[in-house]
Structure 1
Amino acid sequence: MPTTIDQLFDVADYVTEEEREWQLKAREFAQTRLAPIIDQAFEENRSPSELLPEVGAFGAFGMYMDGYGLPNASSVAYGLVAMEFEAVDSGFRTALSVQGSLTMGAIHKFGSEEQKQQWLPAMRRGEAIGFFGLTEPQGGSDPNTMLTTARREGEEWVLNGTKRWIGLGTIAAVGVVWAKDEEGVVRGFVMPTDTPGFTATAIANKLSMRASLQADLEFVDVRLPLNAMLPKAKGLSAPFECLNEARYGIAWGVMGAARSCLELAVERSQTREVFGSPIGGKQIIQAQLADMFLEYEKGLLLALHLGRLKDSGNLAFGQISVGKLNNVREAIKIASQARSILGGDGITSDFPVMRHMANLESVRTYEGTDEVHQLVIGRELTGISAF
């Protein structure tokens, strides 16, 4: 009998029993609740957001944070959950990241006790969905070009500006909005989405992440009380800390998409026949599968290493860039090679490979493009910034 991917490299050998329990719980949810509906949701350009309360019910939102009823699980456990979600669809893993790592992360790291008590328990349960409003139409990877402003008027802040590509923006109950104050300093604000002057419009013409929600946001004289500001956030370092949390999750998540594609390629190599025999018996196919597996295993070991560094408090942002850059790049290569092995069937919706390929192009772009992470690593190596 052939050896399965998990037998050839079983991540369970390198994680704790508790971390493995988190992974298996996430796998069961992803395979039984998400997988049966994801292809249709992608086809319909619809996010299966009705499942988000179930994600909250088993504790995955903000799961590596403490207090406020949060599980305080390890960063490795969170990575394993992200991997199992993305093994079904990158877009659904993105929702986990936007809710837990970005929005809850910002409130947990930089919020007042009142803000934490008001929002974190409900967000943990998936009863309140949140967005993280940083990216702007003109800014892309350079948030320092931010045009959204926060002006002090008496006992209120008045926000004006626009944001783009904001996950969960159209269904959120609360948002963390980043804006420059009158001194040009970036500040974060916790904003209920029923605040007058705020509108969110879904971005509908996507060819990637179609089972995920992204939105354009507009703020027109949005008035917030003074205590809406995150008191511990000052400057771009605050949102960047949140982005690093999301980038860490990506390093794990994309290995799920890679695994899904690799498993399909192996299966098809055994059952698809050309010239009278399975293609898996051809040397070139076996060489391709071996290379795909090597990059999957190396990527997963890298993610695990980063997770252990993170849990020990020793993970540097340059190392996160290594994980994001390498693992997304290799996941795309694995998906592309899997598509080739599947032949013409690989471009059909009978298999998830093209959906993974399309989604991974978005993952490659958000939370820092390849080029941004190359420059981060280059700066670490040389001590010279080339931005």
Structure 2
Amino acid sequence: MPGEDKPVDPPRPTVIQVDSPRQAAEDEEEIQCFKSCCRKRIKRCTLIYHLHQECMDALYKCEECNKKLLRREYEDHICYRVKKFRNLNKGSKQTLKVEKDIALEEKEIISEMKTLMMSFPAWQDNKGLSDKMADLQARVLKLEEEKACYCKHATYSGLERKLDDTVNKTAATDEKLRQQKEQIQTLKMACNEIRNKVEQLKENSRHQEERFEEQIAAILKMVKDQQRSIERAETNLTAMKETTYNGTFIWRIDNFEILRMHAISGGDTEIYSAPFYAGRYGPKMCLKLCLNGCNIGHGTHLSLYLVVMKGEYDNFQQWPFHHTVKLILFDQSGHGHHIDDVIRPSDHQLSSAFRKPVDDMNVPFGSPLFAKLRDVLEFSRDKYMKDDVLFIKASVDMRD
């Protein structure tokens, strides 16, 4: 008997303990099961448990139909057999075949019963006929039960067909989901490939951008170098235009007040003129102007100096420099009130300012108190400074 069809076993009966020694001995006494087909020897105290759980000749109640039958008959019982029948195919042809077999067996039983009924007077006295009649009655009852079960199974078959349809639809849905998953996976792979290409393009773009930046930086450097070269060329050209070779040089200083305010605020405090020569192949020199004064003239005077420079023809000159140089700040009002000073190198032969230059320029030599700033800026407007312009003249006495 399969375990799935057995009813849940009732709890094992508890053996009642008694104080009487005689009663205890009787409980342990072995007896024989009173069921005629069992006759198993058991202890008296376990008889109830044996009848409920073990005895094959005891009555058993089916949980499916509540019918009482002998335990040994359960495997032939319809409720047990219907479970096997449910495993058959669900097609209608097989169901019809089973019903046809049941109908044939019913006809055979009815035919045999008619034969027995014809011999009815002798029926009760003939034990063989009596047993055969009982067997036929049992077969009729069994067939009726099977027929009812098969009819019930037809309903089960409809439900199972619906379940099969649902399973088929679920399988189709699963297949669609599987295909969609594959499509999604394909799309993901495509997206990853595109993402990788984008990253590669970004990386290439970054490298190109870096190269462009390097090229731009190189071009900007070249432009700055060219600008500096142009500025130097323009300075040299301006110097060449302003340079004189006869010992006389006039220096035009534009935007004087702007330059002076810039010097006061911490900018360049001094400016240099273009070079000039005392003769075509003579010594080279220039002028230096301190915009807000220097040394003892700081903040009160303009300081003006002569600077002897290293020239191309110094090896043909007579050293130390010995020519007298006159410095003049022009009066632009036309009254002739010029401010001037004379530098006589012959009085300062030991000064390094007049020796043969070793560096580009010697130390300056001149007057830190050349002109008072208040005369230039305040009390003589349009006299020494007109339209924010100063004119200073240097004149070298070539006769010395």
Give the TM-score normalised by the residue count of structure 2. 0.18
TM-score normalised by the chain length of structure 1:
0.18
Structure 1 or 2: larger helix share?
1
Larger radius of gyration: 2
Greater relative contact order structure (CA < 8 Å, 6+ sep): 1
